[in-house]
Structure 1
Amino acid sequence: MTPPQSPGPWTRARTWLQAHPRALDAALAAAVLVCMIVGSFADPGRHGGPKWGTHTPDALSLTLMVLGAGTLVLRRARPMIVLAATGALSLVELVTGDPRTPVAMCAVVALYTVAARTDRSTTWRVALPTMTVLTAAGMLAGPLPWYAQENIAVFAWTGMAAAAGDAVRSRRDFVGAIRERAERAERTREEEARRRVAEERLRIARDLHDVVAHHIALVNVQAGVAAHVMDKRPDQAKEALAHVREASRSALNELRATVGLLRQTGDPEAPTEPAPGLHRLDELVDTFRHAGLPVEVARADHGAPLPAAVDLAAYRIIQEALTNVQKHAGRQAKAEVSVVRVGPDLEVTVLDDGRGQDAPPQDGGGHGLLGMRERVTALGGSCTAGPRYGGGFRVHAILPVQNRARQATEETQTGTRTEPRTQTQTQTQMQTGNRV
């Protein structure tokens, strides 16, 4: 690996000057003073360029040049005051002194600073009077003829200073706007990445909850049955333990498939088993029947293929609802499951006639109903859950099928995405009972 190269002397000097702007202003003021003093010894010639040694500045001109250059040290902190001071010194030189002395150079630098550090309207509100006053003073009150090139030079240099300062300010604002847009785009990408990570974590959490709650509930029921009949009916106890083993194996398989989503690059391949859906509804219902819960199923979905998200959501809703029936409805409860295709929607309903447990659960509830609501809301549907009149519990979910597919197509074509409603907005769609 090549070691990093140290910055050159020019880079170090520029970095130091940027960190000490007052030193840079002092150096600029000294340079302007040197240029003014050197230029004051030259007499501009009409032909052949300037003539040196024919002109010597007087004491007033030297004093005005020193004062004008000295005020430039404060040009960043007080640009308007510095412009007024240098403009006044230049005006004195044009009227009472030798107009060939370039004191107006200080006013040119000050005007550039004002233009570079303010807005355009302020620049021209200040530049036009400065240009007009200095040029008019040289033409009308100075000792030289009004058409002298020194007077024209004052007008030209002040105008170019204002234009150059405005151009520098515009470029700086343009670069700043580009940098701000880049930073905003970077923040937007980071926020989008965090949002996607949060959504994925929430989805995995829902899957883990559904898998664990369903299978552990079945294991708990079958283990209780085995313990109850172990002494008197060992054959039935063996059958219950076989169901416990099967439910445990299914739980491990689904957990392995879900946790496989969290694998990093280079890890062993995750299971390739497809996600569960309504095609496994009979298998799901059989697990509850083996656990002692009578379940009746009625389907009128025409066997039409469903989008993967809708198929998985319908399966998980039925799984969670039947798990709640198994845990909370009581031993004599029965459950009914219906899956009906109504126009562009798929309606899933789970009913039970249970009276509830003799004693309320001690854990205060879980996240089953919340997970169902989040699944349905993410698909743009609605979900209600609550006690039935006369006893029992009802879970009813409406899952859009065609609308969801059309929305996905539109999002792909337009590159937009509709954000799901917040939890507070969707809580009114569900009336929760005392179930997890």
Structure 2
Amino acid sequence: MTTTWQRLRQHHPRLMDVIGGTILIAVTGLGAVIDRSGHFTGLDPLTSAIGLISAAAVFVHHRHPRAVTAVTLVCTMLLTLTSPRLTVALAAPLLCALYFLAVRTDRSTALRASVATAVLLTGMAVLVESGGLGERLGVLAWALLPGAIGDSIRNRRAHLAAIEERAERAERTREEEARRRVADERIRIARDLHDVVAHHIALANAQAGIAVHLMDSHPAQAREVLSHITDATGSALQELRATVGLLRRAEEPAPLEPAPGLDRLPELIHAFERAGLPVRLTVEGEARPLSPGIDLTAYRIVQESLTNVAKHACGADAEVTIGYRDSRVALTVANGGSSPSGRPRPVLLPSQAPGEGGFGLIGMRERAGAVGGRLTADHRPGGGFLVTAELPLRTAARDDKDQA
């Protein structure tokens, strides 16, 4: 019943106001012609007119609750003078006005209006009517009751509105968090796919160019280079399969192969050297164990930097330097240098094609920032390109727990 009433009030407010106003006018009219004992007293034009004005004023309680309360109070006080007995039916417009005032205003306003009404009506009843103490207390009680009920209804509505607002805010927070997690996961998967595919495809492309160059003059060496292309593409497929496995169904087992780290740098450098890129590796300081996230990030930064050298700096060599300090590890990858003849090697700096977003450098910076490090990439003063990264030796406690 309550739900149906609330639905009608929400979808048909004017209709409900008309129905309620009609009922109120009818009740007030009955109060004007019937006394407390239920006997017909006859129609008094003045009493009927005052009662009609009081009931009609309630129609505008939505916009002017205070003015409606004042008008109905004056009319009710006049009715105590024109009617033999002030009944609840005659005072019904005032009781409704007090209720709406308590619902639509604050507690202090409703309390002042209820107390003032109770005092004035009780005083009028004492002066005009001849009744016992019970009747006086009855007037006092029903004058205060509408304000108390309205205040209770207003508090309940405010409580329900606060609960709904908190629920909506929590739902928005959950949706925003879900969208953020999805976006972060998409970026992470895209970064991993770029790192894996770009590295191996760049190696395969470089080796294919060498094979084409050697096919006629040195077919045996060309076949060896082609076998290296098979190894590179096979590794690409294997790592790509592992990365795409992140999108597997929840019931499928997780891959058991550990993530690559700096301990696999010799293999990585050997692969680039087979593709025709000379790489010099220098380690400064005593090597220290890195947490898994830092180890993977350092490996991917070196891998992506060497891949950029292989793609954009044909004929150059590369220098990889790893420096262990107090609480950080520094990575430096530089391309450009002198050829054995002493002449500078031709160097093409990394550049972006039209419409290309430079995802390699963006991915490296994101990886470094995600573990609390920083990365810079810029031209070298003497020619070439320089990538420098500083990473902490360990990440937060969560990474340490994963390693344990």
> Structure 1-normalised TM-score?
0.79
Question: Per the alignment, in what secondary structure is the counterpart of residue 380 of structure 1?
Answer: coil
Paired residue for 1:61? 47
Query: What are the Cα deviations for residues 299-322 of structure 1, in whole angstroms up to 9, with x where unaligned?
Result: 357554422221111110000111
Using the alignment, how far apart are the partners of 1:294 and 1:358 within structure 2?
16
- Within the alignment, does 1:158 sit opposite 2:143 as a pair? yes
Q: Which has the larger displacement, 68-77 or 376-385?
A: 68-77
One-letter code of the match for 1:24?
M
Name which of 212, 224, 232 aligns with 1:239.
224
Task: Give the unaligned 5+ runs of structure 2.
Answer: 338-344
Q: In 2 relative to 1, CA 409–325 (structure 1 residues): closer, same or farther, beyond 3 Å?
A: closer
Q: In 2 relative to 1, CA 64–273 (structure 1 residues): closer, same or farther, beyond 3 Å?
A: same
Using the alignment, how far apart are the partners of 1:274 and 1:176 within structure 2?
52
Name which of 282, 285, 289 aligns with 2:266.
282
Q: In 2 relative to 1, CA 10–295 (structure 1 residues): closer, same or farther, beyond 3 Å?
A: closer
Using the alignment, how far apart are the partners of 1:110 and 1:190 within structure 2?
44
- Within the alignment, does 1:111 sit opposite 2:126 as a pair? no
Query: What are the Cα deviations for residues 175-217 of structure 1, in whole angstroms up to 9, with x where unaligned?
Result: 1011110110011011001101111111111111111221111
Percent sequence identity over aligned pairs: 45
Query: What are the Cα deviations for residues 120-156 of structure 1, in whole angstroms up to 9, with x where unaligned?
Result: 24334544444444444444xx422597554443433
- Map residues 11-410 of structure 1 onto 2, 5 A cutoff: 15-36=7-28, 41-43=34-36, 51-53=37-39, 58-102=44-88, 103-139=90-126, 142-144=127-129, 149-265=134-250, 271-299=255-283, 302=286, 304-331=288-315, 333-354=316-337, 357=347, 363-364=353-354, 366-402=358-394, 404-406=395-397
One-letter code of the match for 1:284?
L
Question: Per the alignment, in what secondary structure is the counterpart of residue 128 of structure 2?
Answer: coil
Q: Which has the larger displacement, 352-361 or 290-299?
A: 352-361
Q: In 2 relative to 1, CA 339–30 (structure 1 residues): closer, same or farther, beyond 3 Å?
A: same
Residues 61 and 98, structure 1, Cα contact 8 Å, conserved in 2: no
Using the alignment, how far apart are the partners of 2:131 and 2:284 within structure 1?
101
Q: In 2 relative to 1, CA 356–104 (structure 1 residues): closer, same or farther, beyond 3 Å?
A: farther
Using the alignment, how far apart are the partners of 1:106 and 1:31 within structure 2?
11
Question: Per the alignment, in what secondary structure is the counterpart of residue 292 of structure 1?
Answer: coil
Using the alignment, how far apart are the partners of 1:344 and 1:359 within structure 2?
32
Q: Deviation at 1:353?
A: 2.7
Q: In 2 relative to 1, CA 10–167 (structure 1 residues): closer, same or farther, beyond 3 Å?
A: closer
Residues 257 and 270, structure 1, Cα contact 8 Å, conserved in 2: no
Question: Per the alignment, in what secondary structure is the counterpart of residue 343 of structure 1?
Answer: coil
Query: What are the Cα deviations for residues 263-316 of structure 1, in whole angstroms up to 9, with x where unaligned?
Result: 3457x6665433222232211111111111121223357554422221111110
Using the alignment, how far apart are the partners of 1:35 and 1:98 within structure 2?
17
Q: Deviation at 1:380?
A: 1.6
Task: Give the unaligned 5+ runs of structure 1.
Answer: 1-8, 44-50, 411-436
Using the alignment, how far apart are the partners of 1:209 and 1:371 within structure 2?
8
Residues 351 and 393, structure 1, Cα contact 8 Å, conserved in 2: yes
Using the alignment, how far apart are the partners of 2:346 and 2:190 within structure 1?
27
Q: Deviation at 1:35?
A: 4.6
Question: Per the alignment, in what secondary structure is the counterpart of residue 273 of structure 1?
Answer: coil
> Structure 2-normalised TM-score?
0.85
Q: Deviation at 1:82?
A: 2.6
Question: Per the alignment, in what secondary structure is the counterpart of residue 396 of structure 2?
Answer: helix
Q: In 2 relative to 1, CA 409–215 (structure 1 residues): closer, same or farther, beyond 3 Å?
A: closer
Using the alignment, how far apart are the partners of 1:154 and 1:27 within structure 2?
27
Using the alignment, how far apart are the partners of 1:368 and 1:204 within structure 2?
13
Using the alignment, how far apart are the partners of 1:360 and 1:184 within structure 2?
46
Q: In 2 relative to 1, CA 301–242 (structure 1 residues): closer, same or farther, beyond 3 Å?
A: farther
One-letter code of the match for 1:247?
A
Q: Which has the larger displacement, 172-181 or 257-266?
A: 257-266
Q: In 2 relative to 1, CA 150–13 (structure 1 residues): closer, same or farther, beyond 3 Å?
A: same
Residues 37 and 62, structure 1, Cα contact 8 Å, conserved in 2: yes
Between the two proteins, the alignment pairs up a number of residues equal to: 390
Using the alignment, how far apart are the partners of 1:361 and 1:337 within structure 2?
21
Q: Deviation at 1:378?
A: 1.2
Q: Deviation at 1:100?
A: 2.7
Tell which has more relative contact order, 1 or 2 (C-alpha 8 A, sep 6+): 2
